[in-house]
Amino acid sequence: MTSQITSELGSTIDQFLTQREMTFSRKDSGGKDADYFVVDLPGEKKLKTTVLLTVAPHGLRIEAFVCRKPDENHEGVYRWMLKRNRRLYGVAYTLDNSGDIYLVGRHSAESITDAELDRLLGQVLEAADGDFNVLLEIGFITSIRREWAWRVSRGESLNNLKAFEHLIDGDGSDGAPGRSVPSHNGNGGAPRSHGERARGEGGAHLSGGDGTPSAGGAPIGGVEKGREEGDNGRPQAFDAATPSSDVGLDD
């Protein structure tokens, strides 16, 4: 019976992802009574969010990396995450053993339908992508200011830092670190994403009316590029969109 449940749920997920032409791979369980799907969701603040769907006799486990462990203000980051959890559907913020930030959720096999998968993956995308810059502002503000100052001093592009311009004193032209603090709205710190504006609160959906993914495009914020070697005087590489280790979440 357990193998049948796993097989049926795996087929439901495979069909859902295939029909919507989503980017995913299906992993061999290695003889275990489980099935794994790795799904890439295109984003705006981040280039993509990778979601691991684990199908097992108990049902479906959802796991998605959001942001590496904060450099500073850990208490502020964790407080924000706990408040944000109140408004998430089907997943919640958590940490792995390295302190990296993830979304995770568990759902019974009986609850998984196409509509439910659409809503769950939509919520993961809305949170992982929409909350990314907020988490950077709270937990990486010093790194952002140092990177801004370094780029200004070298005349380098600030395009993918423009989302953080409000954290810099004045117009930012002198590269001086700002003294302002992140300003968050009253919904637990959650940004008002395109999904929230369209539907109000209560969970996003992955697909538009025609069944195609509703989010996409190039990153418009966040700092995801590594540091080239030999850049004397440049701050340490700032890459919050990459896990600090391959530990991942425990079961």
Please say whether the dihedral angle defined by the alpha carbons of residues 164, 166, 171 and 177, taken in this order, is positive or negative.
Answer: negative
What is the reported pLDDT for 2?
62
What tokens appear for 76 in the block?
């502020």
What gap in Å lies between CA 203 and CA 190, rounded to an integer?
12
Residue 187 is predicted with a pLDDT of: 42
**What's the full length of the chain, in residues?**
251
Q: What's the confidence (pLDDT) of residue 63? A: 98
Angle between helices 2-19 and 114-130 (to 10 degrees): 70
CA 211 distance to own-chain centroid = 22
Interatomic CA distance for residues 29 and 52, integer angstroms: 13
Residue 85 main-chain phi, psi, to 5 deg: -60, -30
pLDDT tens for the 251 residues of the chain, in order: 567 878 899 999 999 999 999 999 998 766 567 899 999 999 988 889 999 999 998 899 999 999 999 999 999 999 999 999 999 999 999 999 999 999 999 999 999 999 999 999 999 999 999 999 999 999 999 999 999 999 999 999 998 888 899 988 754 444 444 434 444 443 444 333 333 332 334 456 655 444 433 333 333 344 444 444 345 565 554 567 778 766 566 65
What local confidence, expressed as pLDDT, does residue 31 receive?
58
Give the helix/strand (H/E) hosting 51: strand 48-56
Determine the pLDDT at residue 29.
Answer: 66
CB 114 within 8 A of CB 16: yes
Contact present, 98 and 247 (Cβ < 8 Å):
yes
Give the per-residue pLDDT at 131. Answer: 96
H or E element in which residue 13 lies: helix 2-19
The per-residue pLDDT for 160 is 84
pTM of the predicted model as reported, rounded to 2 decimal places? 0.74
CATH architecture of 1-251: 2-Layer Sandwich (3.30)
CA 174 to chain centre: 32
Residues 250, 242, 218, 169, CA torsion sign: positive
CA 68 – CA 245 distance, rounded (Å)? 9
